Every structure is written in C-alpha cells, then in structure tokens.
Amino acid sequence: MAEPGPKLDPSVAEATRVYEKLKRFAVSECKRANCVGADGVITGISKSPEDLASDAIMTLHARGWQPGTGQEDVVPLGRVIIRNKVTDIVRSRAYQTSIALDIEELEKRREGRVDITPLTLIEIPMVYKKFQRTLKNEQEKKYMRAAENGAETPAEFAEALGITPREAEKIRKRLKYRAQKLRAMW
C-alpha cells in the first residue's frame, strides 16, 4: 500500500498562497510604473513585482499576521500595501528623474558610454592644472582654456582662438609632445 506524501505545513501553504496572489497583483500594479512582466524592474528604485510582494508580506507580518492561524484573509490588506507603495514610487523623485534606455539607444547616446575609470576622472583635473602651470605661450594657454570649455575639433579650437584650423592642429601637436615628455617624469 502506498504511503501518503508529507503534508505541507499550513502556515507555509498559506504564506505561499498569499505571496502568489500578491505577486500577481504587484505585476498588474507595476504597469503604472512602466514595469512589464514578473521579471521587470521599476526604474529609479530597482524593485521588481516580486520584491513588492515580499515587502508586503513582511509588512503584514510586522502588523501581526501569522500564517496558518486561521485569521481572516490578509490579501486585500496586502493589495492596499502594494498599491500605496507603487503610488509612492511613481510620485518619488528617484522614479521621475530616472530614465531607462534600451541597449540600442544607449549605444547611440554619446554620454551613455564612458571608458574612463573613476580614478582617471579624479586624476584628470590634477594633471590638467599641473600641465597648465608649465605653459609659457599665451596661445597654448588659450588652447587649454578652449579645451576646458568643451572644444573638441580643430575647427572649434580655431574659432575659440581666432586662428586657422591648421594652426590649431600645430598647437595640439606641440602640447601633445610636451605632455608626453612630462608624463615620463610623473
């Protein structure tokens, strides 16, 4: 004769039932925050519908709910907790100021790509100031100021300095050579 399988603890069964219902509700509520699917993440706070359901279970437990004791159904209260949480998220500054980009969009955006490490970002201003102190030529100092103000192409440098792009390129090469010489000393 076959033995019956182990019975599931009533508290685990109830907690699982409530969690599954709250997770389904959280998936539908998260659509307000442009989070689609159970594995989607809400922009700005990185919470998924599963996280919201887990938070609701913890809040219910903190309010005195104990699964498996035969208390009244807590799913409606859990839904209110999730609805309020999503409303708070949608109203939050973190959500409103964050954007989510697809990989294709990210690759198109120039500011989305950073190949510079944080250490380099800290060192660049220090090296820049040290290098600028070594300059004696006024044109080279103006060139460095133009670079600081965002000039990138020889035409932009030429416009900022009031010279031709060819002369701006000569200044760039001179500065590059001087920087390479100084780099050996650093």
The tens digit of pLDDT for each residue in 1-51 reads 557 667 777 778 888 888 899 999 988 888 887 777 667 777 777 888 888
Q: What is the C-alpha to C-alpha distance for residues 32 and 45, in angstroms, rounded to an integer? A: 14
Note whether 129 and 154 are within 8 A (CB).
Answer: no
Cα gap 172→103, rounded to integer Å: 35
Q: Tens digit of pLDDT for each residue in 89-139?
A: 888 887 777 766 666 665 666 555 556 677 777 777 777 777 888 888 888
Q: What is this structure's pTM?
A: 0.51
CB burial class (10 A; 0-12, 13-18, 19+) of residue 171?
A: buried
